[in-house]
Amino acid sequence: MSRFHQKFNDILRKDSGSDLIHFTFHFGNTKKRCVVDYETGYSFINIKDKENKLVKNRMIRKLNKKNLKYLMPIHKESLKSFKLLFGNKIKNPQEIVYPTIFIPEEFRKPIKRKNRIVFISTTNILEDKIFLIKGGLETLIAFEKLAQKYPKWNFTILGKIPSIIKKDLPKNVILIDSLPREEMWKMFNESKIFVQPCYQAPAMSFLEAMWFKLPIVTYNCWANDEYVDEKNGILINPEPLNSYIDEYNVPNYTKDVLEKIKENSNKNSKKIEKAVEKLIKNNKLREKLGENGFNRVSIGKFSIDKKNEKLRKIYETALKN
């Protein structure tokens, strides 16, 4: 256990005056009433211990403690992963609580949008596999072709790109290594389409795009379809990626999987190109999808109010029992 977690657990063992503790992606040691949210079953067990019966049974006992009042998977695929890992041995109740984000209105003021399409990779980790997992290679190929067909549109890639695939690009394919969060929001507010064909649901990126009324183009895989559907974007069925989801329903990016992503990149780029071109040509469709996405984060299932309402009920129930 790290020094941080030791210190954190020491704090929890003391009477801090709280009646209920909410753990996020980590379950600490406490005798107080608590709830915990999680992304996959591996939020509780290290992937290297997934077949270790001793470790698993110890965690099962911990997850069945009476002071743990609720488990809160952040989407349906999280719950599926949990049940595959622990079976039906956990008796404490579970309720899906989706992540949310709020972007202040000052960053969302209506302005005349530019003919810009945005893809986000990673801005803080220079690792080739992250770019591949985000669907960066096929997006770059699609952007190159679209940039030549639509010279009045800008195709922006925000994030680090592996130097091995950097090459001469059309002038309207813009590469930006990093931006402060507020500058990124400004770019979103000026754009018309968000492309994120990721193999693992980038929930926060999806939610940010919805706040700025951007239609979303992504892959129909893992939990992506819980955030994006035909009402707020375009779901693409990518080429098959065998063994990409492990036996406990968690994306697993082995060397073979990454090589397959590269192998599929040309075919998938054509699907991305087709979806983006559909949105470029149809302003009314873009606006309709963008408005639907905005409604989901402002008043719908991904809104702060909906999440707080659900959390309030969970907290109240936890404090009564």
pLDDT digits (tens, 9 = 90+) for 67-87: 999 999 999 999 999 999 999
Which domains, ranges and CATH numbers included, belong to the chain? Answer: 13-100+304-320 (no CATH), 105-298 (3.40.50.2000)
Pick the range with the lowest mean pLDDT from 49-58, 181-190, 197-206.
Answer: 197-206
Mean pLDDT of the chain: 91
pLDDT band of 164, cuts 50, 70, 90: low
Q: For 18-31, b where at least 16 C-beta lie within 10 A, e where not — what string?
A: eebbebeeebeebe
Specify the pairing of strand 216-219 against strand 233-236: parallel
Distances in Å between the Cα of 318 and the Cα atoms of 32, 33, 35, 38 are 11, 7, 8, 17
For residues 122-134, give the mean pLDDT.
75
Residues with Cβ within 8 Å of residue 196, at least 6 apart in sequence: 119, 120, 134, 135, 202, 205, 206, 209, 216, 217, 218
Distances in Å between the Cα of 152 and the Cα atoms of 117, 155, 170, 196, 258 are 11, 10, 12, 22, 34
Cα 30 from Cα 287, distance rounded (Å): 49
Cα 74 from Cα 114, distance rounded (Å): 34
Q: Tens of pLDDT along 233-247?
A: 999 999 999 889 999
Helix (H, G, I), strand (E, B) or coil at 174: strand
Six token digits for residue 124: 């803080």
Cα 299 from Cα 301, distance rounded (Å): 7
Q: Tell me, what's the pLDDT at 126? A: 54
For residues 148-172, give the mean pLDDT.
88
Q: Is the pTM of this model over 0.85?
A: yes
The percentage of residues in the chain with a pLDDT greater than 70, rounded to a whole number, is 93
Contact 76, 223 (CB under 8 A): yes
pLDDT over threshold 90, residue 11: no
Helices (H), 108-254: 128-133, 136-149, 181-190, 203-211
The percentage of residues in the chain with a pLDDT greater than 90, rounded to a whole number, is 80
Q: Tens of pLDDT along 42-56?
A: 999 998 998 999 999
Residue of 297, 233, 296, 299 lying closest to 101 (CA atoms) = 297
Six token digits for residue 174: 């813009």
Pick the range with the lowest mean pLDDT from 188-192, 193-197, 254-258.
Answer: 254-258
Cα 28 from Cα 16, distance rounded (Å): 15
Q: Tell me, what's the pLDDT at 177? A: 86
Look up residue 182 and give its amino acid. E
